[in-house]
Structure 1
Amino acid sequence: MTLVILLFALAAFMLYLVYEARALRGHRDRIPLVVAVTGTRGKSSVARLLASVLREGGHRVLAKTTGSQAQFVLPDGSIQDIPRRGVASVIEQKEVLKKAVGAGVNCLIVEIMSIREENHYIESHRILKPNTVVLTNIRRDHMDAMGETEDEIGRVLAIDIPPGARAYIPEELRRNVTQHLTNSEQCKIVAVPPGRADVLASRHPELRNREFAENLDLVAAVATDQGIDDETIVRGMLKAIYDIGKFKVWKCRVGDKEILLANAFAANDPESTLKVIEKIRSMVPNGSAGITGLLSLRGDRGDRTLQWVAALKNGMSAHFRRVHVVGDHARAVRRSLKNVDVLRSVDAEEITVNIAAGMEDRGVLLGFGNIGGVGKMLVEYWQRVGEEYGI
């Protein structure tokens, strides 16, 4: 009797799997264009930019981001938060396909959420099956799961390109990815050169301050291949709505000083943060001489803390007048780096006021490290008290 019950349960389970597979395939087949955005940094920004541009070009688009904030960008451009119960899983992408079909879209843009190699395969090849893949960059992060070197990380990210897909990759990273593609002859690789969007940015200088050039290049390349003209691309870019992790600068009066507050908390690695510093120097007249750093650390990301300590020891601290550290591991960092200040407060206003007291007028306070915890509270406070600068 027990064996009969077990066999019946197994048969029912197998029928359920067949039903799920057919439902998943049916949902995917009803969406003409699925774009997967992968890479180490900038995925959310590229997904939101591209969604806005394609929507401006007449497409009905649903986008999903999982960066600083898990959100849907709905076909009308409005934002819907994604409630999370427990740990995020790539299996939720099945529901995204179902939602896209229900919304009647002809384009779905999804940020790849996988970290571990096996999950990349399941998410891209088995669930999303994108016909277009956009790779933003390859940088050192999640090294315990993806590898220590750019080559190792590139091998994992290359998994996101399934057979038959059209993949847009920054020109300088083409070899990092294509050498790991076992199905390269079945893929169309589009190497996007630096400066691809320079003509657009020269006509609309505000784009240079709103977004990083490499992100604009990728979005312009994809949109052009979708038949969208330059002016429509620009209008879409300017209408894009970003999440809390987006790089942004505010002007704020603190006491008798006017300072600039710069959000780079979501640039979680040293290389990305150095690119933000370059951008600030291009935006702010005295930025090269007046940047004060505020490093926010997370207790569950000890690997990132070690990465920051190594970077600051190896010359990154020279970019700052002073570095302040807040969050878990702050005291441990202080023992390794003698020229940093540990902040014990976790109140955003108190942190800002105390640091500003030691800054010059018109100096820049750059927040970096992690958007979670104190970083998020600081950005929310800066948004309330500051006035957007340079945009």
Structure 2
Amino acid sequence: MQLILPLILFLVGFGAYEFFETRRAAYKIAHRIHVNGTRGKSSVTRLIGSGLRESGFQTLTKVTGTYPKLVMEDGTEEEIYRRTKANIIEQARMLRYAADRQVDAIVFECMAVQPQFQWIVEHQMVRSTVGVITNTRLDHLGEMGNSLEDITRALCNTIPFNGVVFTSEQKMFPLMEKIAKKRGTQLIYADPETVTDEDLRGFRYVEHRDNVALALAVCQHLGIPREKAMAGLHQTVPDSGALEVFDVDYIPYKRIRFANGFAANDPESTILVYNLVLERFDNGGKRIIVLTIRDDRLERAEQLAEAIVQHMPCDYVLLVGDSTDRVHDVLTALNFPRQQAISMGVASGEEVFEMVLDLTDDRSIVLGIGNMVGKYKSGTQIVNYFRHRSHITPKLEEETRA
């Protein structure tokens, strides 16, 4: 008993010290940009960081997308090593690291999912000068709630007090604005229509108009001229889960076009990516969807299966990873032809490629959806294999920039 009280006092004192040191570190950084939302967080974080860097801001960017990384002041990247699962204490550690480097700005992707932790990261750690909420989608239902309103309220935990926050969300904008006003904060809509086709052609990968609009709005808010900001955005190195398109000419009479849509793993975003890929890259061949499945994201895989049947017409669906037979049953129960739903189980990138090759007559367009990472890293393996077998033809490069 004699040791318990001193131990409690020590822990309380240590906690207070950590709190004030983190707060002190945050206030040493002039511009603190905190990016939250359902989809596009990593892309928007990278875009803003690149725009600031090009304009002379010493900027440290932290993303927790496919793989957690720091983008340093000179644009080089360093992986964040984690001994255990992700923990919000990491954000406090990175704040101090940024303060020690005397940077002008940080752009941090929100790493918290639980609503209470989102609040802590924003209001006890980052205390952002500029907030960003990319959008709200039906995802992480178990952690954030069972409705779009619940999820919106959860994401709004990162709206700062007496500040400014940007969003490209339309449907839930009124609710977000109501919450922002209660905190004395201005909510600004970043209109995707302000981004031109010419702006999009400057990217060497496929970037979404909404993401560019958000990054531009933040950069201009910080006093960066639009032309200068856009030049920086065009220098962005994409996340490994970004939408990329590859052409594979395996033999003269078989051409395969592969689109990496694994990052958009909620149904609504995946449907948008499907439509975008067909609108801009359809080669008139067989349509093949590769759905990667994780046991801990099984409900999401079933939702994607339903989205395929209802909104994403295709000739074949390849199921890869965990519980593929269960998702196969979901597809067939929704009247998707049994022989066109292929349960591959745990399969390598090469095995998926060989199956696509067998299903391709002369040409095909393949869309990968589901998950990049997980126990087997199926999405990563598939993307890497197609990338290594591909080449960007002048025609495809022109289409990618169109």
CA RMSD of aligned residues (A): 1.9
Equivalent in the alignment of 1:270: 267
SS of residue in 2 equivalent to 1:294 = strand
Equivalent in the alignment of 2:305: 309
The 2-side partners of 1:41 and 1:305 are apart by 17
Q: Deviations over 1:151-209 (max 9, x none)?
A: 1110100111021221001261421322344x5351011122231222xx425624496
Instruction: Using the TM superposition, name which of 296-305 and 42-51 deviates more.
Output: 296-305
Task: Tell whether the 8 Å contact from 1:334 to 1:342 is kept in structure 2 after alignment.
Answer: yes
Task: Tell whether the 8 Å contact from 2:26 to 2:126 is kept in structure 1 after alignment.
Answer: yes
Q: Deviations over 1:47-81 (max 9, x none)?
A: 00110011001101001011111000010000100
Q: Verify: 1:358 aligned to 2:354, yes or no.
A: no
Task: Tell whether the 8 Å contact from 1:292 to 1:359 is kept in structure 2 after alignment.
Answer: no
Task: Tell whether the 8 Å contact from 1:37 to 1:134 is kept in structure 2 after alignment.
Answer: yes
SS of residue in 1 equivalent to 2:301 = helix
Q: Deviations over 1:221-264 (max 9, x none)?
A: 11111111222122211111122111100111224412111101
Equivalent in the alignment of 1:343: 344
Q: Deviations over 1:93-121 (max 9, x none)?
A: 00110111122211001011111111111
CA 1:203–1:127 in 2, change beyond 3 Å: closer, same or farther? closer
| Map 1:283-302 → 2, pairs under 5 A | 283-286=280-283, 290-302=286-298
TM-score when normalising by structure 2? 0.90
Displacement of 1:303 in angstroms is 1.9
- Of residues 227, 231, 250 in structure 2, which corresponds to 1:231? 227
The 2-side partners of 1:345 and 1:10 are apart by 49
Q: Verify: 1:174 aligned to 2:201, yes or no.
A: no
Equivalent in the alignment of 2:382: 378
- Of residues 105, 108, 116 in structure 1, which corresponds to 2:106? 108
SS of residue in 1 equivalent to 2:189 = strand
Displacement of 1:26 in angstroms is 1.2
Displacement of 1:371 in angstroms is 0.8
Displacement of 1:7 in angstroms is 3.0
Q: Verify: 1:282 aligned to 2:283, yes or no.
A: no
Equivalent in the alignment of 2:190: 192
Displacement of 1:40 in angstroms is 0.5
Equivalent in the alignment of 2:51: 53
The 1-side partners of 2:216 and 2:245 are apart by 24
SS of residue in 1 equivalent to 2:24 = helix
Counterpart amino acid of residue 211 in structure 1: E
The 2-side partners of 1:161 and 1:368 are apart by 31
Task: Tell whether the 8 Å contact from 1:305 to 1:329 is kept in structure 2 after alignment.
Answer: no
Task: Tell whether the 8 Å contact from 1:345 to 1:351 is kept in structure 2 after alignment.
Answer: no
- Of residues 52, 60, 63 in structure 2, which corresponds to 1:62? 60
The 1-side partners of 2:199 and 2:243 are apart by 22
Displacement of 1:310 in angstroms is 2.9
Q: Which runs of 5+ in 1 are unaligned?
A: none
Q: Verify: 1:211 aligned to 2:207, yes or no.
A: yes
Counterpart amino acid of residue 370 in structure 2: G
Q: Deviations over 1:334-359 (max 9, x none)?
A: 22223311124512112112112212
SS of residue in 2 equivalent to 1:301 = helix
The 2-side partners of 1:285 and 1:365 are apart by 10
Task: Tell whether the 8 Å contact from 2:199 to 2:230 is kept in structure 1 after alignment.
Answer: no
Task: Tell whether the 8 Å contact from 1:258 to 1:361 is kept in structure 2 after alignment.
Answer: yes
Task: Tell whether the 8 Å contact from 2:323 to 2:345 is kept in structure 1 after alignment.
Answer: no
Instruction: Using the TM superposition, name which of 353-362 and 292-301 deviates more.
Output: 353-362
Task: Tell whether the 8 Å contact from 2:287 to 2:365 is kept in structure 1 after alignment.
Answer: yes
The 2-side partners of 1:149 and 1:310 are apart by 18
Equivalent in the alignment of 1:140: 138
Equivalent in the alignment of 2:320: 326
The 1-side partners of 2:218 and 2:330 are apart by 45
Counterpart amino acid of residue 174 in structure 1: F
Q: How many residues align?
A: 383
Counterpart amino acid of residue 316 in structure 1: H
Task: Tell whether the 8 Å contact from 2:205 to 2:243 is kept in structure 1 after alignment.
Answer: no
- Of residues 225, 236, 247 in structure 2, which corresponds to 1:240? 236
Identity of aligned residues (%): 29
SS of residue in 2 equivalent to 1:58 = coil
Task: Tell whether the 8 Å contact from 2:322 to 2:345 is kept in structure 1 after alignment.
Answer: no
The 2-side partners of 1:311 and 1:148 are apart by 18
Counterpart amino acid of residue 378 in structure 1: I
SS of residue in 1 equivalent to 2:319 = strand
SS of residue in 2 equivalent to 1:189 = strand
The 2-side partners of 1:148 and 1:360 are apart by 43
- Of residues 155, 165, 186 in structure 2, which corresponds to 1:157? 155
CA 1:271–1:15 in 2, change beyond 3 Å: closer, same or farther? same
